[in-house]
């Protein structure tokens, strides 16, 4: 949707579902290649200048069978302030009721674990657009955010997005729960650490033989090319965990990680993912992501039968 009196697109209060020429990404249809993409740019809104997200998705099995016709509500939008590490998070679309009631799972863990039926080639290919600052209740000041789309084990690369100032935006506390447990991350090399890979954080685990910890490795150029597009900025390590059934995000930040790891030239870290989630009421699938500035890992799946340790 574009304002005829301005070159900026217009962002309505509610999510809208058009393909917006010049704004929306191209999403290739495929039954076997699930993917999501988005573009962000300055836009106008009823409340003044804002930053809009123009997103698209191509999702097949198990996502459309798992969530039925509820898209894009199961797709989550996450933004991290690249200077402070503060995390903001919301489903792409939801009603005023609790998200636990909004999103229902239509496949059991047994059905998902059994794998995709050979004759199932169904998929959905569509677009959605939203006022990013409004959806996430971002503060009125401008800021540079690392933004991703995330659904279960599928997550997009982090994009650095400049969100514009708007004094009419209301200041409200972020929704997701920050975990403040001290010493959650251990910075050390280990025989369990995966091999490095350019452009991303590699994670493996949780490993039963290593106390159910997740082991991670940074790319080799992480200290010579800091993953933050701010002159003199220091990337903050973020650990984020999402619960599939109860639809909650837990996150942890470590501002000292990068300076200490850089000083000691240590490219590896490990952590106990279950300390992110605390006490779960019932077994459910968990997904864990690590992020350092604009670097991120793939979303690591912890099956429901492992989610409650005995």
Q: List, for residues 55-66, the tens digit of each pLDDT value.
A: 999 999 899 889
Domain that holds residue 62: 35-163
Whether 219 and 143 share a structural domain: no
Find the mean pLDDT for residues 281-285.
89
Hey, what's the torsion of the CAs at 187, 191, 195, 196, to 10 degrees?
A: 20
- The reply to whether 30 falls in a domain is no
What DSSP designation does 209 have? G
Structure tokens at 242: 């999402």
Instruction: Look at the chain and report how many structural domains it folds into.
Output: 2
Output the pLDDT for position 173: 66
274 three-class SS:
helix
Which single residue is written with the structure tokens 């009603």? 95
Provide the pLDDT confidence category of residue 286 given band limits of 50, 70 and 90. Answer: very high
Instruction: Count CB neighbours of 251 within 10 A.
Output: 23
Provide the pLDDT confidence category of residue 185 given band limits of 50, 70 and 90. Answer: very high
Structure tokens at 239: 């650990």
- The reply to whether 108 falls in a domain is yes
- The reply to whether 154 falls in a domain is yes
Q: Which residues pair with 44 in a beta bridge?
A: 10, 49
Q: List, for residues 97-153, the tens digit of each pLDDT value.
A: 444 446 778 888 888 877 777 777 788 999 999 999 999 989 999 999 999 999 999
Q: What is the pTM of this model?
A: 0.91
Structure tokens at 269: 């870290």
Q: List, for residues 230-247, the tens digit of each pLDDT value.
A: 888 999 999 999 999 989
Whether 59 and 115 share a structural domain: yes
The half-sphere exposure of 239 on its side-chain side, counting CA atoms within 13 A, is 24
Q: List, for residues 69-94, the tens digit of each pLDDT value.
A: 888 999 999 999 999 999 999 999 86
Output the pLDDT for position 232: 85
């Amino acid at each position: 949707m574009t304002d005829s009196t301005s070159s900026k697109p217009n962002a309505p209060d509610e999510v809208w579902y058009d393909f917006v020429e010049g704004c929306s990404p191209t999403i290739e249809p495929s039954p076997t290649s699930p993917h999501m993409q988005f573009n962000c740019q300055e836009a106008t809104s009823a409340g003044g200048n804002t930053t809009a997200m123009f997103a698209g998705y191509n999702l097949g099995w198990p996502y459309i069978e798992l969530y039925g016709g509820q898209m894009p509500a199961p797709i989550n939008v996450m933004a991290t302030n690249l200077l402070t590490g503060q995390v903001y998070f919301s489903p792409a679309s939801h009603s005023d009721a609790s998200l636990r009631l909004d999103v229902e799972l239509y496949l059991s863990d047994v059905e998902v674990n059994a794998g995709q039926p050979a004759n199932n080639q169904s998929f959905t290919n569509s677009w959605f657009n939203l006022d990013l600052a409004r959806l996430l209740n971002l503060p009125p000041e401008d800021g540079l955010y690392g933004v991703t789309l995330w659904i279960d084990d599928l997550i997009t690369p982090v994009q650095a997005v400049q969100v514009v100032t708007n004094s009419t935006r209301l200041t409200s506390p972020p929704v997701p729960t920050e975990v403040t447990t001290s010493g959650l991350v251990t910075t050390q090399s280990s025989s369990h650490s995966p091999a490095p890979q350019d452009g991303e954080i590699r994670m493996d685990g949780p490993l039963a033989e290593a106390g159910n910890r997740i082991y991670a490795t940074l790319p080799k150029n992480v200290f010579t090319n800091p993953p933050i597009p701010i002159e003199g900025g220091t990337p903050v390590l973020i650990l984020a965990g999402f619960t599939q059934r109860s639809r909650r995000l837990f996150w942890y930040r470590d501002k000292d990680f990068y300076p200490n790891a850089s000083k000691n030239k240590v490219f590896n870290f490990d952590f106990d993912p279950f300390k992110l989630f605390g006490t779960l009421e019932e077994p459910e699938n968990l997904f864990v992501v690590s992020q350092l500035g604009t670097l991120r890992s793939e979303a690591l799946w912890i099956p429901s039968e492992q989610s409650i340790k005995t």
